[in-house]
A and B are shown apart, each in its own frame.
Chain A
Amino acid sequence: MTATNAVLAAREVTKVYGGTQALKGVDFDVAAGRVTALFGENGAGKSTLMKILAGIEQPTTGHVELDGRPARLASSRDAADQGISIIHQELSLCPNLSIQDNLFLAREVRRPYGAVDRRAEREATIAVLRTLEEELDPDTPVADLRLGQQQIVEIARALLQEARVLIMDEPTSALTAPEVEVLFKVIRDLTARGVAVVYISHHLDEALEIADDVVVLRDGRLVATAKAGDVDLRWIVAQMVGRDQDALFPDREALAGDEVLALRDLVVADPANPDRLAVNGVNLTLRAGEIVGVYGLMGSGRTELLEALAGRIPPASGEIRLGGEPLSGTGIRERIERGVVLVPEDRQRDGLVQTMTVGENLSLAGLYKFVRRLFVSQERERGAVERVIADVTVKTAGAKAPIGSLSGGNQQKVVIGKALLTDPRVLLLDEPSRGVDVGAKADIFQLMAAQARRGLAVLFTTSEAEEALHIPDRLLVLARGVVVGEYRRGEINREELMSVSDGAAIGGAAR
């Protein structure tokens, strides 16, 4: 890989969000006519780097080069005009508009006098959908499509722009196996025509299959590049996780005590789409001192499962018992007081109040403990906050520091600390390692192990296979709201886990 055929490149790119440094001096080349697969754990900086290459974000320092010359990509529109398109991880479609209107949004085909040429748009829409082997009416509102079809519309939109560089950030997260096959065929057509493709996927084997070049990011740094033919999955995983792999996963003995939490036939409707069951009949018991993991991909129902346990969404049917007492009909607040607390998946959206200090965030859920008569006892609150900052090893200038001044990992520790400050019996963590660096990840797993030793029952979800295999004493594999497998630690390896989870997910999607 040489600079001569690099169409698009990042040069010493650094990106800082608030107090978090997402990229630390990255040099990254994209070659024409090749598929560059970008690997890295959650929070390694993959999406940030792609957003910078696509003009959505500006680098804090460093710059982007197009055809070997420094380029300024002021916006995604600007980048698109220069031949760079991106397919987003988060779908960026307007659900109220039709497929056709979405495909041509802000790029409408105009007639000479300015009106939209709907007929030309319609023909182009039908043609591009045919390339993707999708039989869809261009007038269908995007809201009526299932997730996988929406993703195909997103891909179609990028194809229509006839870009020279096409960035695909998790394009297949909701696609079925046959749809992925079609997408790969399209990608090979594109590269044969000289288009440069950047490919990011959670499914490592899938990404390796389509890749020509392999690039690995870790903690915001580019740590390795290689030809796809020279490396295997094991090498990629080793590069992604780094040398700290042993330190990352603490050794522990399972110490299961009394049963604390029990679910029977839990059914939860999808809050966004009440006709769909997000969780469909899950049984689970959780014992004191035990760490149980739930491995599941996006849309598997893992978040809904934990939110139903925390009292955020009422289950459609089934039973939840805490220490033998039913929890039904209680809200979030009462469950926190009775000892069930959730560390949500998206800490920015659900975990932290950005306008408050570190200390105020930490004490928010346990505030009721410090109330004396009408007022919050500052003394008690301060004491508890200082203690938990030390316990969860938050690196901060102090309890009065603004929450935004902390790095992603430390912000996550604050969310966990907030939950621990309520003295829970059951700690629920939804993807606790999402978007944090390797060091903080290790701290978070140590913390979970330490809490389990103190007798807490810990239930966490993950979409990282390595975590699922090494952290929990017991692992449930969740797909389409159903537990498709349950294993003790060491009973299953990476390949088996992948095939159990993918097989179940595809089996359902292909219904």
Chain B
Amino acid sequence: MTSTSSRPVAETVQPERAAATARRLSLLNVAFELRAFIALAVLIVVFSVLSDSFLTVPNLITMTKHVAINAVIALGMLLVILKGGIDLSVGSIVGLSGVVAGELLGGLNLGFADLIAYPPVWVVIVLCMGVGALVGLVNGILVTRFKVAPFIATLGMLYVARGLALLISNGATYPNLAGDPELGNTGFGLLGSGRPLGLPTSIWIMIALAAVVALLLTKSPFGRWLYATGGNERAAELSGVPIRRVKTVVYVISGACAAIAGLIIASELTSAAPQAGETYELNAIAAVVIGGAALSGGRGTVRGTLVGAFVIGFLADGLVILGVSTFWQILIKGAVIILAVMLDQGQQRLKRRGAAASAVAATRQPDRPHQQ
């Protein structure tokens, strides 16, 4: 075997250069990692410059109240997406949960003995969350036992849950959820209008839920199982992870979270419409994705999802404050989502290149093989 004397296209990467490349790439990586934060900071700066009323405490609180509803749904969605699934039914669960609350606060006709029960507010809240969890359980069973693709299973339940909400309410809005002191079921409105320690209840709920989910993901074995199942289901199963249970539980939690969001909305309005929450599933998915989670599963954080929800919420409200037309708002939101995913792809490519560069840097210059 003789070697050729000149090699015009040989692009040889030297180990030293590879090391430098690896360092440069890891710096870029940090910027990518923080992209959602950077996006949020840019939004806040731009809107503050363009509008005097944007960066005021009352406006920030109002906007965060809007964010909270999406964030609560998105935290549940994050778990499903970490598993590598998707939950399209959450918007309908929002509507169903409100309708069930309306029905219960209006009195539960027990049928026998002419009795109408008026359950106290805490029972109503628990039952509504139970309804959401139940829809989630159906999603989970469809996905795990009947092997229906998550997209299809939850798309089906999107219609089923919405249909149930319309059937129960007969298409009408429950106009007054204030309750009656004589029946002992007042206080539902506090969920929406209460301000413990100066912040609306919904913001506290978002904070508490975020803390619980973060704890679940980072400290509990369940969290580890979830990341493993989403990252590589086969490897997780062979390591003894109860993958079916993990997969079912995330839909149950997602359904319950959506039900909480439905309760907050009904409480803020002290009325419940069966149409509430339409397309909310898309906002929640957008928040999770902008927050850096991979739709293929295994990658994503609570922090990222919260930032994603803030980006979407502040963007929408900021555009309203600036008087940008609704049509433009919709278009801009779409562009932001696509941009976020493109950046995510870029980051993944960067990571792979970084790993390759470090590997080349780590190996010595290949010694020449001896030939015969």
Contacts and interface: CB of A to CB of B under 8 A. Distances in A.
B329 interface: no
B369 A332 contact: no
Interface stretch (A46-54, A103-111, A182-190, A223-231): A223-231
Nearest to A65: B4
Nearest to A363: B224
A62 B238 CA distance: 39
A39 to B, nearest CB: 14
Contacts of A310: 238
A337 B298 CA distance: 25
A504 interface: no
A353 B236 contact: yes
Interface string A202-232: 0000000000000000000111111000000
A106 B372 CA distance: 42
B363 A376 contact: no
A360 B218 CA distance: 11
Given A18-B359, A21-B363, A70-B7, A354 B232 contact: yes
A73 interface: no
Contacts of B358: 19, 405
Contacts of A356: 227-228, 231, 298
A349 B366 contact: no
A351 B13 contact: no
B35 interface: no
Interface string B160-179: 00000000000000000000
Contacts of A11: 3-4, 7, 10
Contacts of B215: 375
Contacts of A223: 369-370
Contact of B221 (A29, A63, A376, A404): A376
Interface in B349-369: 352, 355-356, 358-360, 362-363, 366-369
B2 A3 contact: yes
Contacts of A65: 4
A61 B4 CA distance: 16
Contacts of A18: 352, 355-356, 359
B180 interface: no
Interface residues of B, number: 50
Contacts of B362: 19
B16 interface: no
Contacts of A1: 1
Given A3-B2, A404-B355, A221 B227 contact: no
Interface string B76-105: 000000000000000000000000000000
A266 interface: no
Interface stretch (A77-85, A365-373, A454-462): A365-373
B352 A352 contact: no
B8 interface: yes
B240 A24 contact: no
B232 A353 contact: yes
B56 interface: no
A225 B13 CA distance: 27
Nearest to A344: B238
Contact of A225 (B1, B4, B11, B359): B1
Interface string A17-43: 111110011110100000000000000
B1 A27 contact: yes
How big is the A interface, by class?
Answer: 35 or more
Nearest to B364: A24
The dominant DSSP class at the B interface is loop
B117 interface: no
Nearest to B12: A61
Interface in B86-145: none
B4 A3 contact: yes
A115 interface: no
Nearest to B365: A25
A65 B8 CA distance: 11
Contact of A61 (B13, B219, B224): B13
Contacts of A24: 363, 366
A374 interface: yes
A145 to B, nearest CB: 27
A364 B239 contact: yes
Nearest to B234: A350
A356 B316 CA distance: 35
B9 interface: yes
A351 B235 CA distance: 5
Which of A310, A336, A344, A356 gathers the greatest number of chain B CB atoms within 10 Å? A356
Contact of B371 (A12, A16, A222, A333): A222
A365 B238 CA distance: 8
Contacts of A273: none
A360 B221 CA distance: 11
B224 A367 contact: yes
Contact of B236 (A29, A70, A364): A364
A376 B370 contact: no
A70 B363 contact: no
Interface string B243-270: 0000000000000000000000000000
A353 B228 contact: yes
Interface in A318-373: 332-333, 335-337, 342, 344, 349-356, 360, 363-365, 367-368, 371
A44 B32 CA distance: 36
B224 A312 contact: no
Interface in A243-286: none
B2 A2 contact: yes
Contact of A368 (B4, B221, B360, B369): B221
Given A3-B4, A20-B359, A353 B369 contact: no
Which 7 pairs show the lowest CB-CB distances between chains A and B? A25-B366, A355-B298, A355-B231, A353-B231, A333-B240, A365-B239, A24-B366
Interface of A: 1-3, 11-12, 14, 16-21, 24-27, 29, 60-63, 65, 68, 70, 72, 221-226, 310, 312, 332-333, 335-337, 342, 344, 349-356, 360, 363-365, 367-368, 371, 374-376, 378, 402, 404-405, 407, 418, 422
7 contacts: A3-B4, A19-B362, A27-B1, A70-B9, A364-B228, A367-B221, A374-B220
Given A29-B1, A225-B372, A351-B235, 12 more contacts: A11-B3, A18-B356, A25-B368, A312-B237, A350-B238, A352-B235, A355-B232, A365-B240, A367-B221, A375-B220, A375-B221, A376-B220
